[in-house]
Copies of this chain bind each other. A is one copy, B any other.
Amino acid sequence: MKATIVTIGDEILIGQIVDSNSSYIAKALDKIGIATHEMLSISDDKEHILTTFQKLQNQVDVVLITGGLGPTKDDITKKTFCDYFNDSLIEDEKVLQHVKDIIEGFYKRPITQLNKDQALVPSKAKVLFNKMGTAPGMWMEHENTIFISMPGVPYEMKYLIDNEVIPNLVEKFERPFIVHQTIMTYGRGESLIAEEIEDWENNLPSFIKLAYLPSPGRVRLRLTARGNDEWVLKEAIKNQIISLTPLIEEIIVGFEEDDSIEVVLGRKLKEKGFTIATAESCTGGKIGQMLASIVGASSYFKGSLVTYATQSKIDVLGVSKEIIEKYSVVSEEVALEMVNKVKQIMGSDYAIATTGNAGPSKGDSEADLGVVYIAIATPNKVFVERFDFGQPREKVIDRAVNKAFELVYKEI
């Protein structure tokens, strides 16, 4: 079972937007054992779309297409479907009613012809009802390939994938098994890890593949086993994990796809009934946002005080003006003040504070670019560490955020 994902839109090819749809679709396919062969982004050009369909026809089992279904002139996917499959557009009553409900009922606007045209679909296509928007999805079977067209708006595409596309694919195909196991690590680089597990890696059976997925401050190791007997695959993976774990135990945070250090941190806080808060300067609120983004975060995440300007460190956190003047705003002393104050204001058990100079230019302080102080408060102690994260800005922020999680994690 092979699939190719196609995104249609000049806005992608000139770099105006990042294509996040393909990644969502690939993940959903992977879960049901359908391998994504390629992802492809092409232009809103009829000829380009047609030649792409021709190339993919009978080369893969499924082609999943997003984009070009909007109401405007540059949206030509539907017409191109008709040309390629030699079909014509007909009005779908259920979709038309749905469009009316959205435009007249929800947005309280008179319905336009462009709105009505959203209800036109190729006569041979199975309509995939789009509860989240006005553009329906389309399922077209042609020779040995299924062409599935979805809107490019992410939450509409996601609704169709979860509620229409995946269920239909599961029903239609017998699929081989793909078993993934992710090992989440933190605080050590991929080449060091590779050295430590070299012998183990060399002895992996041929049907199991290892991938290193590094991002600042963390490396995900991913084992992938392919075969026809799910039980055999799972056993094989389980045994590999048993032999791998002792080699890098001290840096493993978890074995779930979403066991990023902040998620595991959140879980530990929740288990123990502890709460956490942040006071952020150079990290601009990113530590808090990552904590807040976890489902159920409100049970342990009190909130964050993003004191961006120096003055707001004084006004909001109550850091003393004297300390800032004496030691500068990027200093051990200010970081400690920040963490103590936020812990007190938020009434949390743990707290994180950051102050640094992410660059690209020197801001309110004379600190070198890349220098960040991270202070941690726990129920029974407070400490601060100085880091030099180099440049560029985004790397400094990412590494500061991850280092902060790492420092707290060890304390819980």
Which residues does A use to contact B, with CB under 8 Å? 10-20, 22-30, 35-44, 70-74, 106-107, 109, 112, 114-115, 132, 153-155, 158-159, 180, 189-192, 194-195, 201, 209-214, 220, 222, 224, 257, 277, 284-286, 288-289, 292-293, 297-298, 301-309, 311-312, 315-316, 345-347, 363-364, 390, 392, 394-395
Cβ A70 vs Cβ B212 within 8 A = yes
Q: Beyond the given A11-B213, A155-B394, A286-B289, please list 4 additional residue pairs across the A-B interface where CB-CB is below 8 A.
A: A12-B23, A13-B26, A16-B257, A285-B306
Contact B285 A316 (CB under 8 A): no
Contact B312 A285 (CB under 8 A): no
Across the interface, which residues of B come within 8 angstroms of A70, CB to CB?
190-191, 212, 214
Q: What is the interface of chain A mostly: helix, strand, loop, or mixed?
A: mixed
Write out the residue numbers on chain B whose beta carbons fall within 8 Å of the beta carbon of A257. 16
CA distance A214 to B109 in the complex (A): 18
Decide: A191 and B115 in contact? CB cutoff 8 A: yes
Tell which of B13, B20, B30, B316 touches A14, judged by Cβ atoms closer than 8 Å.
B30
Q: Say how many copies of this protein the assembly contains.
A: 2
Decide if A15 touches B10 in the complex (CB within 8 Å): no
CB-based contact A312/B71 at 8 Å:
no
**A213–B17 touching, CB < 8 Å:** yes
Quick one: closest B residue to A201, CB to CB?
B73
Q: Is the CB of B74 within 8 A of A212?
A: yes
Tell me the nearest residue of chain B to A360, going by C-beta: B295
Distance (whole angstroms) from the CB of A316 to the closest CB of chain B: 6
Q: Chain B residues with Cβ under 8 A from A390's Cβ?
A: 106
Query: Which 9 A/B pairs are nearest by Cβ-Cβ distance?
Result: A15-B27, A15-B26, A39-B41, A71-B191, A284-B292, A114-B191, A18-B23, A15-B23, A303-B312
Q: Is the CB of B316 within 8 A of A308?
A: no
A182 to B: closest C-beta gap in Å: 8
Q: Is the CB of B191 within 8 A of A112?
A: yes
Q: Knowing A292-B308, A316-B305, say if A14 contacts B155 (CB, 8 Å).
A: no
Contact between chains at B292 and A304 (CB < 8 Å): no
Q: Which of B28, B220, B347 contacts A315 (CB 8 A)?
A: B347
| CB <8 Å contact, A14 and B38 | no
The docked-state distance in angstroms from the alpha carbon of A17 to that of B211 is 13
Residues of chain B contacted by A392 (CB below 8 angstroms):
132, 155, 158-159
* B-chain residues with CB within 8 Å of residue A189 when the two chains form the complex: 107
B residues in contact with A286, CB < 8 Å = 289
Residues from chain B with Cβ under 8 Å of A42 in the complex: 38
Which listed residue (B10, B19, B73) contacts A19, Cβ 8 A?
B19
- Residue in A158, A257, A311 with the greatest tally of chain B CB atoms within 10 Å: A311
Cα A201 to Cα B74 in complex, Å, equals: 11
* Residues of B close to A224: CB separation below 8 A: 10, 14
A–B complex contacts, Cβ < 8 Å, 25 sampled: A10-B224, A11-B222, A12-B23, A13-B35, A14-B36, A15-B29, A15-B30, A17-B213, A18-B18, A22-B41, A38-B41, A70-B190, A70-B191, A71-B191, A72-B194, A74-B211, A107-B189, A285-B289, A285-B304, A292-B308, A298-B309, A303-B309, A311-B347, A315-B345, A316-B346
